[in-house]
Chain A
């Protein structure tokens, strides 16, 4: 029963990822794609969490944290890139 619920959750997460992917592919503008990617990242976090419950292990908690961090950093860098054209500022005068 519990496992069934988890699988249903996974299914809806997959649908959510696919919908996000559609936005990544289609996305009329670049911010659309970046946002979709961010959403996919969060969905993946949820998916990994459900997996951990399904597989009855704690080994994947690191991954959940990591995806959270990376997804944040990734979205920030994409945003900065879209806004300014570069990610790391090049200090000329110091």
Chain B
């Protein structure tokens, strides 16, 4: 087994061990044991970098269900490695942070770390899987782990609501993804992503459905418009989880998917506009909504939504194969976003932990009390706003370059609509700047009011600060040495997203911290100036948020939709599940008439060949008339006794028919059974009231008449048709030798106990069960005699 497999499965193995460690080593915080896992994986991934940077690819496969072509194939290229490093690296920092954040005494740490490790393993599985079915399996596992983590404090109503919402939306997307992946495998006849990528599918009739379904999967996971609504509600999770899942890793699974399938779908106009358009709308809407939030984590959630939109938008632009900068920017911002958003979430967690609140209306004046936290917040926020000297500046400049280049393209209607992209991007950046400022200034500046805080405010312990500090250092490092990761990580990842395009040339030293007085710089300057002005006048224009009614939000739609669907379903169910057996029989009969009668009519199956029929004798006609008379009597009578006598008449005449048709055994049995049945009916009547007058309306009776006539006619037609359609002769000649074969002169009895004795045995069983049933029904009326 390759070391890589072991590495990918370590989180699951550790998840098994965590409860044991929690129980038997209670003195040490369980997080310390868990910390080993992501660090080990991270080091292993680091070791892979040089090999991947040279353009090599690590491929390996372990059979899982080989007969179905489903194997756990692992595939490491630049793209997967970036995600692998992010997952394990941020994972290590988050675990370290959680050791100080999660109290050993109060929290159920074993649950926390088991879920976290399952999530980590699932996420690694998603990015390294080559087999799409395995990828889908891990994809769903991330959804489930996220569900468990969001509802970690399951006693809270809001946690449960958020967990359910995120599960509903991401599983919806996950199922769409599964359908898309299956369509892909149908088109290419393989489950391997590498082989799917090499196939040219454009023009295939399933191409567009597969694209749409996969995009729905990606957009729901990555909280893209309009599926973004679950992410703010997922903020009920513990802050380390928000930092890890809902900023750095899980929400990027959709981005991974878009990037991974760009070689398959990219270069088409549908993909370009769907991905770019959704991305830019999400970017704008997320940044716009973030400004109005009062909760720091909600603000960060909307900011995550908007930043994910930015990355998706860049991937869409980059898929055109002409703006390679955009793909580069997307990957670069992917890394940058993980660093600064992880840092910001941890900082917000610290603020929450040390002040007892996350509400910006209560916070303020913490600058001098929490200087380190303040510094970290500045670094994270300014990076998010796109200011130098932080890495967000570089990726924002690259973003502007991407949209500007895209707007100059002469394809995909960009010559007319292209100008919209930079404008929207610029507006969104202004809002990003504003909420970044709110994060820093409203939390840390202003006056410190002691009365507002429930607990004594002080600087966080060092352990809690290590992780965000580490990320802050990374933010700075990425700014000053961007080309180190560009050459080692981003280049192989780009060739994974755009295979065959770069051929090793291109982006070296692409990132320059200062690249002259270009349009992008002026755009950034504009963002800063306008953003500052707008921030200063925030009170004067924040009324526009009031004017957007609550009904406009997708949350309203989601909530009403859920309630509405439930109501609709219960109404429909109440409509047809009446609880009256009569109605259900009506459904069954109508269905039978429609299906059987319909197939008779539509398929033109009815045939009638009177040639083979026997002759009809006079006494058969007379007996038939007797049966019909008795049947009409049963239907029309007002007295139960008359009805039973009518039924008895029918039964006895049937016995006579058996006589006429030369079946003495049947006649004997029929007579006895009929007598017993009539006697049983009589037995019941002692306890039953007289038949009441028909209280239902004429319409009801007419409907019943029509249905019963329909059933009768259909059955008759089918019987006639079957009689006229004998496909082969009967096999009864075999049984005529019964004396030779079984030593019996009575064929019927020989068949019953010799040729087909098995059926008889089971019929005896049926009678036995019926007997026991009747006995227990009579003898064991639990509700009445249990105290006897």
Which residue of chain A has its CB nearest to the CB of B637? A25
Contact check, B671 vs A70: say whether CB atoms are below 8 A apart: yes
Contact of B642 among A33, A51, A81 (CB under 8 A): A33
- Interface presence of B780 (CB below 8 A): no
With A18-B626, A62-B668, A63-B671: A48-B619 Cβ-Cβ less than 8 Å: no
Shortest Cβ distance from residue B570 to the other chain A in the assembled complex, whole angstroms: 47
The CA-CA distance from A25 to B668 in the complex, in Å, is: 26
In the assembled complex, which residues on chain A have CB atoms less than 8 Å from the CB atom of B626?
A: 17-18, 21
With A14-B619, A18-B622, A63-B659: A77-B679 Cβ-Cβ less than 8 Å: yes
Which residue of chain B has its CB nearest to the CB of A82? B641
Contact check, B675 vs A73: say whether CB atoms are below 8 A apart: yes
- Interface presence of B775 (CB below 8 A): no
- Interface presence of A89 (CB below 8 A): no
Contact check, B648 vs A48: say whether CB atoms are below 8 A apart: no
Contact check, B664 vs A24: say whether CB atoms are below 8 A apart: no
Contact of B648 among A18, A37, A57, A59 (CB under 8 A): A37
Interface flags, A60-72, vs B, CB<8A=1, else 0: 1011001100100
Interface flags, A25-68, vs B, CB<8A=1, else 0: 10000100110010011001001100100010101101100110
- Interface presence of B662 (CB below 8 A): yes
Contact check, B664 vs A74: say whether CB atoms are below 8 A apart: no
**Which residues of B653-704 are within 8 A (CB) of A?**
655-656, 659-660, 662, 664, 667-668, 671-672, 675, 678-679, 682-683, 686
The CA-CA distance from A44 to B623 in the complex, in Å, is: 11
The CA-CA distance from A63 to B668 in the complex, in Å, is: 6
In the assembled complex, which residues on chain B have CB atoms less than 8 Å from the CB atom of A41?
A: 652
The CA-CA distance from A78 to B683 in the complex, in Å, is: 11
With A18-B622, A41-B652, A77-B679: A67-B645 Cβ-Cβ less than 8 Å: no
With A44-B656, A51-B660, A87-B679: A14-B671 Cβ-Cβ less than 8 Å: no
Which residue of chain B has its CB nearest to the CB of A25? B633
In the assembled complex, which residues on chain B have CB atoms less than 8 Å from the CB atom of A17?
A: 622, 626
**Which residues of A1-33 are within 8 A (CB) of B?**
7, 10-11, 14, 17-18, 21, 24-25, 30, 33
In the assembled complex, which residues on chain B have CB atoms less than 8 Å from the CB atom of A40?
A: 649, 652
The CA-CA distance from A33 to B686 in the complex, in Å, is: 18
Contact check, A66 vs B682: say whether CB atoms are below 8 A apart: no
Contact check, B645 vs A37: say whether CB atoms are below 8 A apart: yes
Which residue of chain B has its CB nearest to the CB of A33? B645
Main secondary structure on B side of the interface with A: helix
Contact check, B630 vs A21: say whether CB atoms are below 8 A apart: yes
Which residue of chain A has its CB nearest to the CB of B662? A55
Contact check, A60 vs B679: say whether CB atoms are below 8 A apart: no
Contact of A14 among B622, B641, B655, B682 (CB under 8 A): B622
The CA-CA distance from A86 to B645 in the complex, in Å, is: 16
In the assembled complex, which residues on chain A have CB atoms less than 8 Å from the CB atom of B648?
A: 37, 74
In the assembled complex, which residues on chain A have CB atoms less than 8 Å from the CB atom of B633?
A: 24-25
In the assembled complex, which residues on chain B have CB atoms less than 8 Å from the CB atom of A66?
A: 668, 671-672
Contact check, A59 vs B664: say whether CB atoms are below 8 A apart: yes
Interface flags, B13-26, vs A, CB<8A=1, else 0: 00000000000000
The CA-CA distance from A77 to B622 in the complex, in Å, is: 28
Contact check, B649 vs A77: say whether CB atoms are below 8 A apart: no
Which residue of chain B has its CB nearest to the CB of A84? B686
Which residue of chain A has its CB nearest to the CB of B625? A18
With A70-B672, A77-B679: A62-B664 Cβ-Cβ less than 8 Å: yes
In the assembled complex, which residues on chain B have CB atoms less than 8 Å from the CB atom of A34?
A: 645
Contact check, B667 vs A63: say whether CB atoms are below 8 A apart: yes
Contact of B652 among A14, A18, A25, A44 (CB under 8 A): A44
Contact check, A63 vs B664: say whether CB atoms are below 8 A apart: yes
- Interface presence of B463 (CB below 8 A): no
Contact check, B683 vs A87: say whether CB atoms are below 8 A apart: yes
In the assembled complex, which residues on chain A have CB atoms less than 8 Å from the CB atom of B731?
A: none
Which residue of chain A has its CB nearest to the CB of B664? A59
- Interface presence of B629 (CB below 8 A): yes
In the assembled complex, which residues on chain B have CB atoms less than 8 Å from the CB atom of A24?
A: 630, 633, 645-646, 649
- Interface presence of B618 (CB below 8 A): yes
**Which residues of B630-644 are within 8 A (CB) of A?**
630, 633, 641-642
The CA-CA distance from A59 to B679 in the complex, in Å, is: 27
The CA-CA distance from A10 to B659 in the complex, in Å, is: 14
The CA-CA distance from A88 to B630 in the complex, in Å, is: 27
With A25-B629, A40-B649, A44-B652: A77-B672 Cβ-Cβ less than 8 Å: no
Shortest Cβ distance from residue A48 to the other chain B in the assembled complex, whole angstroms: 5
The CA-CA distance from A63 to B652 in the complex, in Å, is: 12
The CA-CA distance from A62 to B659 in the complex, in Å, is: 11
With A37-B649, A51-B660: A87-B671 Cβ-Cβ less than 8 Å: no
In the assembled complex, which residues on chain A have CB atoms less than 8 Å from the CB atom of B659?
A: 48, 51, 60, 63
In the assembled complex, which residues on chain B have CB atoms less than 8 Å from the CB atom of A30?
A: 641
Shortest Cβ distance from residue B683 to the other chain A in the assembled complex, whole angstroms: 7
Which residue of chain B has its CB nearest to the CB of A34? B645
Contact check, B668 vs A70: say whether CB atoms are below 8 A apart: no
In the assembled complex, which residues on chain B have CB atoms less than 8 Å from the CB atom of A73?
A: 675
Shortest Cβ distance from residue B122 to the other chain A in the assembled complex, whole angstroms: 69
In the assembled complex, which residues on chain B have CB atoms less than 8 Å from the CB atom of A70?
A: 671-672, 675
**B interface with A by C-beta (< 8 Å):** 618-619, 622-623, 625-626, 629-630, 633, 641-642, 645-646, 648-649, 652, 655-656, 659-660, 662, 664, 667-668, 671-672, 675, 678-679, 682-683, 686
**A interface with B by C-beta (< 8 Å):** 7, 10-11, 14, 17-18, 21, 24-25, 30, 33-34, 37, 40-41, 44, 47-48, 51, 55, 57, 59-60, 62-63, 66-67, 70, 73-74, 77-78, 81, 85-88
Known: A21-B626, A62-B668, A70-B672. 11 other contacts (CB 8 A): A21-B649, A24-B633, A25-B646, A30-B641, A37-B645, A40-B649, A41-B652, A85-B686, A86-B683, A87-B682, A88-B683
17 A-B pairs, CB-CB below 8 angstroms?
A11-B619, A18-B622, A21-B626, A21-B649, A24-B645, A25-B646, A33-B645, A37-B645, A40-B649, A44-B656, A47-B619, A60-B664, A63-B655, A63-B667, A63-B671, A70-B671, A70-B672
Please provide the 9 A-B residue pairs with the shortest distance between their CB atoms, ordered closest to farther.
Answer: A14-B622, A59-B664, A70-B675, A25-B633, A63-B667, A81-B682, A86-B686, A66-B671, A48-B659
